[in-house]
Every structure is written in structure tokens, then in C-alpha cells.
């Protein structure tokens, strides 16, 4: 795992824990984590494994608050996590898609399908068309469905850029844009 150009974790002994109703999470042996890049955090958290101790990552002039946590004294059934640092990777990124850890782990049993649709898709705000497309695609993910519109069919001039960025283990990075007030859900008509 890289952050700010610094290697925070370098391990071939990573474990991936799957918990019900949570994204998979990486566990790293303590010896494979560079503690010199970590600062203790005050954030408390009690989970099924016990009480977590959080660490912020500092590297390359950047900080990722509460990016790594561990269970110093896990409950008996979770004793495997005793000296293990754990991370979803949130907030840490190397800038390279192959090594980025800014994203929660991909769900290995999830499925994503994208299909063209013959439906006409429109997004309206106070009666004004923000987007109008006959080239929409529908994205089906395990837990939800989204309508995707080509940028050419969206009134970009009505959107205000935001600095928020998101990242998906499947779809990659995205920068969000919005108009004021927030756009309503996409509507489709037959």
C-alpha cells in the first residue's frame, strides 16, 4: 500500500476478512507495516473483534486520518487479529490504479453488468432538463442500479464543480458535480 509516494505496507502475508454487511478488509502482519509513517489517533471504536486503536498515515506531505486500525486486545474468537494492522485503505492513494489503496476492497462475489437501453432518460430540475439522452446505459451492481449518461447529453453548463472525489474498486475514480439545489434522481420514461 502506497501513500504520498511512501510504501506504508509491503506484505505477501495479507489476509482478507469478509464480514457480514461490510466490505472485505485487509489485515496486515504488524512487521510488514511501516510504523514510522503512522501517528496515533484519538478516535475510539468498539467492534465485534474488540476495541480498535486508530492510526493516521503521514507521507509525502499528506495525511490520511484514521486510515489504519488494529485490535491490541481482541476478544477470544478474533484472536487471529492480535498484532495485525487492518485497513480498508480509505484516504490513502498512490496515484496509480494498480497500486491504489484509496478504495475499499472489491467484493469478490459481486457482479457488475452494464447494458444499453432503448429507453429515453431525462433528468429534470424545476422543470428544466439537466440531461436528455437516448444513449443511456443501465449499470446493475449487486446492491443497486444506476443510469449512466454520456457527458455530451448532460448540460454541463448547469453544473457546479465540487472538489469531492470518490473511488470504486470496480469503476475507478470519479469527480462529482452538482447543481444547486442537488439534482433529483434520474428518471426514465418508456
The residue with greater pLDDT, 181 or 137, is: 137
The predicted pLDDT at position 76 comes to 78
Domain locations along the chain: 2-87, 112-189
- Asked if residue 131 lies in contact with residue 150, where contact means CB atoms within 8 angstroms, the answer is no
The predicted pLDDT at position 106 comes to 57
Pick among 2.170.150.40, 3.10.20.30, 3.90.79.10, 3.30.300.20: CATH of 112-189:
2.170.150.40
The predicted pLDDT at position 130 comes to 92
pLDDT by residue (tens digit) across 6-62?
888 888 888 777 777 777 777 888 888 898 999 988 877 777 777 888 888 888 888
Percent of all residues in the chain with a pLDDT value above 70, rounded to a whole number: 72
- Residue 156, pLDDT above cutoff 90: no
pLDDT by residue (tens digit) across 66-88?
888 888 777 777 776 654 555 54
pLDDT by residue (tens digit) across 116-138?
988 999 999 888 899 999 999 99
Closest CA to 126 of 176, 83, 182, 188: 182
The predicted pLDDT at position 187 comes to 46
pLDDT by residue (tens digit) across 161-172?
777 777 676 666
Alpha-carbon distance of 34 to 24, in angstroms, equals: 22
- Asked if residue 149 lies in contact with residue 131, where contact means CB atoms within 8 angstroms, the answer is yes
State whether residue 35 is helix, strand or coil: helix
* 2-87 matches 112-189 in fold: yes
The residue with greater pLDDT, 152 or 20, is: 152
Please provide residue 58's backbone torsions phi and psi, each rounded to the nearest 5 degrees. -125, 125
Architecture per CATH, domain 2-87, reads as Beta Complex (2.170)
Amino acid at each position: 500500500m502506497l501513500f504520498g509516494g511512501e510504501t506504508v505496507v509491503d506484505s505477501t502475508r495479507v489476509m482478507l476478512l469478509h464480514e457480514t454487511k461490510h466490505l472485505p478488509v485487509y489485515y496486515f502482519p504488524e512487521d510488514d507495516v511501516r510504523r514510522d509513517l503512522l501517528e496515533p489517533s484519538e478516535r475510539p471504536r468498539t467492534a465485534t473483534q474488540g476495541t480498535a486503536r486508530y492510526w493516521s498515515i503521514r507521507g509525502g506531505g499528506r495525511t490520511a486520518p484514521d486510515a489504519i486500525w488494529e485490535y491490541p486486545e481482541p476478544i477470544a474468537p478474533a484472536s487471529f487479529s492480535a498484532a495485525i494492522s487492518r485497513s480498508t485503505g480509505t484516504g490513502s492513494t498512490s496515484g496509480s490504479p494498480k497500486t491504489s489503496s484509496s478504495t475499499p476492497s472489491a467484493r469478490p462475489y459481486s457482479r457488475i453488468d452494464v447494458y444499453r437501453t432503448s429507453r429515453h432518460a431525462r433528468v429534470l430540475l424545476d422543470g428544466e432538463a439537466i440531461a436528455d439522452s437516448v444513449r443511456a446505459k443501465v449499470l446493475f451492481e449487486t446492491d443497486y442500479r444506476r443510469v449512466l449518461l454520456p457527458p455530451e447529453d448532460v448540460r454541463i453548463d448547469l453544473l457546479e464543480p465540487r472538489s469531492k472525489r470518490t473511488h470504486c474498486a470496480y469503476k475507478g475514480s470519479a469527480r462529482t458535480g452538482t447543481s444547486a439545489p442537488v439534482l433529483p434522481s434520474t428518471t426514465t420514461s418508456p
